[in-house]
Amino acid sequence: MKLVIFDVDGTLIFSEKKDSLAFAATYEKIYRRPFPTIDWRTYPHVTDTTIFDSAIRQHFGRPSNEPEIARFLEQYVALLQDNRRTAPDAYQEVPGARQAITALEQDDRYLVGVATGGWKRSAEIKLQHVGISIGHRFFSGADGKIEREHIIEEVVSEAEAFIGGSFSKIIYIGDAVWDVQTTRNLQMDFIGVRRRGDFSLLQKEGVRHIIRDYRDYTGFLRLLEEAVPPGLRAEL
Structural contact between residues 4 and 224, judged by C-beta atoms closer than 8 angstroms? yes
Digit-coded pLDDT (tens) for 100-152: 999 999 999 999 999 999 999 999 999 999 999 877 679 999 999 999 999 99
Rounded Cα gap, residues 23 and 28, in angstroms: 9
Q: Are strands 110-115 and 92-93 parallel, antiparallel or unpaired?
A: unpaired
Digit-coded pLDDT (tens) for 24-67: 999 999 999 999 999 999 999 999 999 999 999 999 999 999 99
Name the pLDDT band for 235 (thresholds 50, 70, 90).
Answer: low
Give every CB contact of residue 103 below 8 A, 6+ residues apart in sequence: 217
Rounded Cα gap, residues 179 and 219, in angstroms: 21
Where are the domains positioned within the chain? 2-15+92-226, 18-89
Rounded Cα gap, residues 140 and 176, in angstroms: 18
Give every CB contact of residue 217 below 8 A, 6+ residues apart in sequence: 96, 99, 100, 103
Partners of 140 in the β-ladder = 115
Digit-coded pLDDT (tens) for 71-101: 999 999 999 999 999 999 999 999 999 999 9
Enter the pTM of the model: 0.95
CATH superfamily of 2-15+92-226: HAD superfamily/HAD-like (3.40.50.1000)
